[in-house]
Structure 1
Amino acid sequence: MDGMPNIKKWIIIYPVYINSKKTIAQGRRISAEKACENPTCIEIGDCCSYLKLPFAIELDKAYPRDFMQRGRVRVLLKREDGSPYNPAIGTRKQLMLQIAELVPKHHGRTKKQEATATSNAGPSKSGKGGKKKK
């Protein structure tokens, strides 16, 4: 790559765009059925790298409509010559739908779910007996 790419021209994905917990008025951009629960910038970034798309996470940026929502992801869909990086994704909408589909399968999430499933099974050591006698 010659120098820094001009990421100002890249499209922006705010996590709120694909958050099933938000309403259209709050900034959701895709249908609630297709959206995912509380996605993070990191998860979105990981999805972009999985989809072989160049991306940049901007954690210092906030969503204008809800400035408590920190972070956004810039994604480059097309090369200089206009050809898409991923032929399956040509538009922002397609990208949002793809990411929303991938986030629930994100390794960070699947690990958490497996951990809660396995920690309940089997004999637990953290029962009583943790307190010291006086």
Structure 2
Amino acid sequence: MKDEKRIIIWPVYIDSKKTKSEGRKIAKENAVKTPKIREITQAAKKLGLNPSVEKYKSYPPSWWEGSGRVIVDKKMTKQEVLLKISNLIDGSRST
């Protein structure tokens, strides 16, 4: 059964190196290059989204890449969560 109070975030959703057809969910200019699970988790913690990590999961369309995923509380829309996480990762990298 689907959990309506949680959002799954795959790294591909905010990866600027991926195309929309490969799974990127936000605009390329808002995305970050090769985001790591650790970075997504840290950004989600800063946003108070109570992240939980599943390291050994694979994004179904690219099942051979063991990318992992982060599951967070749904406190805003998925699009808003992805943009905020991407911006926090970008900000932490540029310092």
Which TM bucket (shorter chain)? 0.7 to 0.9
- What are structure 1's unaligned runs of at least 5 residues? 1-7, 78-83, 85-89, 112-134
Could you tell me which residue of structure 2 aligns to residue 76 of structure 1? Answer: 73
Deviations 1:36-94 (A, max 9, x none): 111011100000101111110110111001121420000012xxxxxx3xxxxx10100
SS of 2:58's partner is strand
Q: Higher helix share goes to which structure? A: 2
Q: How many residues align?
A: 91
Alpha-carbon offset, residue 110 of structure 1: 5.1
What fraction of aligned residue pairs are identical, expressed as a percent?
38
The residue type equivalent to 2:39 in the other structure is E
Q: Aligned pair 1:105/2:91, yes or no?
A: yes
TM-score (norm 2): 0.88
SS of 1:74's partner is strand
Could you tell me which residue of structure 1 aligns to residue 28 of structure 2? Answer: 32
The residue type equivalent to 2:88 in the other structure is L
The residue type equivalent to 2:48 in the other structure is K
SS of 1:21's partner is coil
SS of 1:60's partner is coil
Larger Rg: 1
The residue type equivalent to 1:19 in the other structure is D
Q: Moved runs in structure 1, 4+ residues, more than 4 A?
A: none
Alpha-carbon offset, residue 105 of structure 1: 2.3
Q: Which has the higher contact order (CA 8 A, sep 6+)?
A: 2
